[in-house]
């Protein structure tokens, strides 16, 4: 049975909200009830553009009037703000990273279970059609037994942040690993499904946040070896490479661009997603699908597409990486 339309608040009106959440809501013909940001004076244009009924600097002020919140604030606020809403039975779409530790992530899941509020995590990359196709390829073992995964991504940071949070370790809770890595490692875990591993991690942190990092992972149950290199200061190949006993697939982290060892794999992908569909999908579609999936879970009781539980393994890996951290070795040392 259809329930009433949810009154949505967007918490944190920086670059992400401006570039993706307001346009995604617009595409879905949804008007947010409230926009929340301490910089109330700086978001007048967004209030106008979105049609929001109210604007406030504080979540406490609007919580009684809303049903659901999109939390897109600096990372250090994710846990406390999401918990604040979930404990009040308000549904939450929480931006990545879900939390800094597995324990905190679990706490959020428990709050959502106790209150019955829907918690969906913003792992929007899982909506790329090629990434969904790879999930199926893994399940059906089309590459045979997966042997290795290499994931290299990044470039000189150019995202137009509206606050300095990303450069402050107290607010960002980490650098490129916490930021880009929460997407990359989420895909790795989603595809590989092996939580028994040994891990090596190094980064270039010299007291602020890391801009370059490298992980080496030996998955014990599956025997898969993975290497993940991320950067926000140099141009990376932007390439994921998955190799199995019966074939390989290469893909870009963005867009549905791929190459594979043979026609069998290509045909399998194109059967699910025709070439035109793959070409047409853009970033805004991912955010729109993400919001749509969350709203359907709230209003129609469907299962949220990104199960919060399934995000915990990547949070655990980030947490362990920082604990095991070694200084990155430079070629010139």
Ligand X SMILES: NC(=O)c1ccc[n+]([C@@H]2O[C@H](COP(=O)([O-])OP(=O)(O)OC[C@H]3O[C@@H](n4cnc5c(N)ncnc54)[C@H](O)[C@@H]3O)[C@@H](O)[C@H]2O)c1
| Residue 261 makes contact with ligand X by CB under 6 A | no
Query: Residue 196 burial by CB count (10 A; 0-12/13-18/19+): exposed, middle or buried?
Result: exposed
CB-based contacts of 176, cutoff 8 Å, min separation 6: 154, 203, 209, 210, 211, 212, 213, 230, 231, 232
CB of residue 94 to ligand X, shortest distance in Å:
9
Token representation of residue 186: 């989420």
**Binding segment (CB under 6 A) for ligand X, from list 11-19, 98-106, 235-243, 306-314:** 11-19
| Residue 14 makes contact with ligand X by CB under 6 A | yes
Nearest to ligand X of 246, 252 (CB atom): 252
**Binding segment (CB under 6 A) for ligand X, from list 8-16, 130-138, 186-194, 309-317:** 8-16
Please give the residues from 124 up to 143 whose contact with ligand X meets the rule CB under 6 A.
Answer: 124
Rounded CA separation 77/83 (Å): 10
Instruction: Give residue number: closest CB to ligand X.
Output: 14
- x/- track of binding to ligand X for residues 172-191 (CB under 6 A): -------x------------
**Among 257, 259, 262, CA closest to 246:** 262
**Binding segment (CB under 6 A) for ligand X, from list 105-113, 158-166, 191-199, 310-318:** 158-166
| Residue 162 makes contact with ligand X by CB under 6 A | yes
| Residue 278 makes contact with ligand X by CB under 6 A | no
| Residue 144 makes contact with ligand X by CB under 6 A | no
| Residue 16 makes contact with ligand X by CB under 6 A | yes
**Binding segment (CB under 6 A) for ligand X, from list 1-9, 66-74, 107-115, 301-309:** 66-74
State whether the Cα torsion 163-235-78-198 is positive or negative. Answer: negative
Token representation of residue 257: 């661009």
Torsion angles phi and psi, residue 34, rounded to 5: -140, 145
| Residue 284 makes contact with ligand X by CB under 6 A | no
- Strands in the chain per DSSP E: 8-11, 34-36, 54-56, 68-71, 91-94, 119-121, 146-154, 197-203, 212-219, 225-231, 239-244, 247-251, 258-260, 326-327
Total number of residues that touch ligand X (CB under 6 A): 25
> 300-304, long-range: CB within 8 Å, 24+ apart, which pairs?
300/2, 300/3, 304/118, 304/119, 304/120
Please give the residues from 219 up to 258 whose contact with ligand X meets the rule CB under 6 A.
Answer: none
Rounded CA separation 275/303 (Å): 28
Q: What's the DSSP call for residue 20?
A: I
Please give the residues from 74 up to 93 whose contact with ligand X meets the rule CB under 6 A.
Answer: 74-75, 77
CB of residue 145 to ligand X, shortest distance in Å:
32
CB-based contacts of 138, cutoff 8 Å, min separation 6: 146, 191, 192, 193
CB of residue 257 to ligand X, shortest distance in Å:
18
Nearest to ligand X of 66, 72 (CB atom): 72
Nearest to ligand X of 88, 246 (CB atom): 88
Nearest to ligand X of 146, 166 (CB atom): 166
CB of residue 172 to ligand X, shortest distance in Å:
8
**Binding segment (CB under 6 A) for ligand X, from list 157-165, 291-299, 305-313, 314-322:** 157-165
| Residue 205 makes contact with ligand X by CB under 6 A | no
Rounded CA separation 133/49 (Å): 36
Please answer whether residues 248 and 241 qualify as being in contact, where contact means their C-beta atoms are separated by less than 8 angstroms: yes
Please give the residues from 32 up to 51 whose contact with ligand X meets the rule CB under 6 A.
Answer: 36-39
Sites of contact with ligand X (CB under 6 A): 11-16, 36-39, 72-75, 77, 95-96, 122, 124, 159, 161-163, 165, 179
């Amino acid at each position: 049975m259809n329930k009433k339309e949810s009154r949505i608040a967007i918490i944190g009106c920086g670059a992400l909200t401006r570039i993706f959440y307001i346009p995604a809501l617009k595409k879905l013909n949804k008007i947010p009830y409230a926009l929340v940001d301490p910089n109330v004076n700086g978001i007048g244009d967004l209030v106008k553009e979105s049609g929001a009924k109210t604007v406030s600097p504080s979540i406490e002020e609007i919580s009684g009037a809303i049903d659901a919140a999109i939390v897109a604030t600096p990372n250090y606020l994710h846990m406390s703000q999401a918990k604040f809403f979930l404990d009040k039975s308000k549904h939450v779409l929480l931006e990545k990273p879900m939390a800094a530790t597995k324990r905190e992530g679990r706490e959020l899941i428990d709050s959502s279970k106790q209150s019955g509020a829907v918690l969906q995590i913003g792992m929007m990359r899982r909506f790329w059609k090629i990434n969904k196709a790879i999930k199926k390829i893994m399940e059906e073992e089309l590459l045979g037994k997966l042997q290795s995964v290499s994931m290299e991504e990044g470039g000189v940071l150019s995202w137009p942040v509206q606050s300095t949070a990303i450069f402050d370790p107290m607010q960002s809770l980490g650098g490129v690993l916490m930021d880009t890595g929460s997407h990359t490692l989420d895909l790795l875990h989603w595809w590989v499904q092996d939580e028994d591993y040994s891990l090596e991690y190094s980064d270039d942190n010299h007291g602020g946040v890391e801009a370059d990092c490298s992980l080496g992972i030996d998955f014990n149950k599956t025997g898969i070896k993975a290497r993940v290199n991320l950067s926000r200061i140099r141009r990376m190949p932007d390439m994921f490479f998955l190799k199995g006993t019966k074939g390989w697939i290469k893909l870009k982290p963005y867009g549905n661009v791929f190459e594979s060892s043979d026609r069998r794999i290509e045909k399998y992908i194109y059967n699910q997603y025709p070439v035109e569909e793959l070409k047409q999908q853009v970033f805004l579609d991912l955010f729109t699908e993400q919001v749509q999936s969350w709203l359907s879970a709230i209003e129609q009781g469907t299962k949220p597409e990104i199960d919060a539980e399934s995000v915990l393994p990547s949070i655990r890996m980030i947490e362990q990486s920082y604990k095991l951290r070694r200084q990155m070795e430079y070629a010139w040392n």
